[in-house]
Structure 1
Amino acid sequence: MRGALATAPPHQGRFMVGRDARGKCVVSDSLGLTGGVFTDRQAAVHFAMVECDYAPGEVSAAPPGLVLSVDTIFAGPGREQ
């Protein structure tokens, strides 16, 4: 399908490593508790692996075309999205 955004695949672990709308490397947490923007993919994967205590299957790569966001992690009382 041309022009359509990819949808998230079925659950593939707690953390997904990919890119945001600006092309930055991000880690998205399926629980919405943590995550962030990173200087490169290696740093993002390292963060996710440490956060899940290196548990097998808890970190996956976002499929091509899926745009990740960490906005909800940083949103809270008194903060604009």
Structure 2
Amino acid sequence: MTLAYGMAVLFVRIFFVLLTYVALEKVDWRKLFSANNYRFAQYVCALSSIALGHLIGSFFITIMELLRDVLFSAFL
């Protein structure tokens, strides 16, 4: 059970990191950074997507753990 849980956690976090990267990639970073700092804007996009993806993934993992505990306590 712990291997499956660990794989689920890994999948959820990678999924949300990729999802936030796709969403943040749509932002026009040229309005926030100059043309010379476009490479820096890409790094900011990547790091922000990792941070937000981890935060959102942790939230959903916590929700899944709470639902698991509620279901186990209700049926066991």
TM-score, length of structure 1 as denominator length: 0.24
**Looking at both structures, which has the greater relative contact order when contacts are Cα pairs under 8 Å and sequence separation is at least 6?**
2
User: Please, what TM-score do these two structures have when normalized by structure 2?
Assistant: 0.25
